[in-house]
């Protein structure tokens, strides 16, 4: 999240402080991201299956990446379903319109 026009911001992950670059006006997003990452890291550490800060951080990053990709796929599927429904509505409306219109409007011109 570094940017030339930004500044340095201190965040805490598992009680360790990190100073990172932050674009102006993006502090709230950075802190929310850090809070989410800290929560995920603590969950992994507390499970007792992963030891070491670096390994906990990598596992948290992998879990968050997986959740993001899964969410994007679900959104894509939802959008496709909505498009199919809209297409069906358009087809239905066109069929109804064709039944109420004369068969050949081009012959009247």
User: 3-state SS of the chain?
Assistant: CCCCCCEEEEEEECCEEEEEEECCCCHHHHHHHHHHHHHHHHHHHHHCCCCCHHHHHHHHHHHHHHHHHHHHHHHHHHHHHHHHHHHHHHHHHHHHHHHHCCCCCHHHC
pTM, 2 dp = 0.69
Domain count, the chain: 1
Q: Which domain holds residue 46?
A: 7-99
In a domain, residue 104? The reply is: no
In a domain, residue 91? The reply is: yes
Please state, in angstroms and rounded to a whole number, the distance separating the CA atoms of residues 34 and 11. 7
Question: Tens-of-pLDDT digits for all 109 residues of the chain?
Answer: 444 568 999 999 999 999 999 999 999 999 999 999 999 999 999 999 888 999 999 999 999 999 999 999 999 999 999 999 999 999 999 999 988 876 654 454 4
In a domain, residue 106? The reply is: no
CATH number for the domain spanning 49: value is 3.30.160.880
Residue identified by tokens 């429904």 is 85
């Amino acid at each position: 999240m570094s940017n030339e026009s930004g500044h340095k911001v201190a965040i805490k992950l598992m009680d360790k402080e990190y100073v990172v670059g932050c674009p102006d006006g993006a502090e709230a997003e950075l802190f929310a991201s850090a809070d989410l990452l800290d929560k995920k890291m603590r969950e992994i550490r507390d499970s007792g299956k992963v030891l070491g800060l670096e390994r906990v951080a990598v596992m948290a990053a992998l879990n968050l990446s997986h959740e993001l990709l899964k969410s994007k796929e679900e959104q894509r599927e939802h959008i496709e379903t909505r498009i199919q429904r809209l297409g069906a509505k358009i087809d239905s409306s066109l069929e109804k319109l064709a039944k109420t219109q004369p068969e050949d409007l081009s012959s009247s011109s």
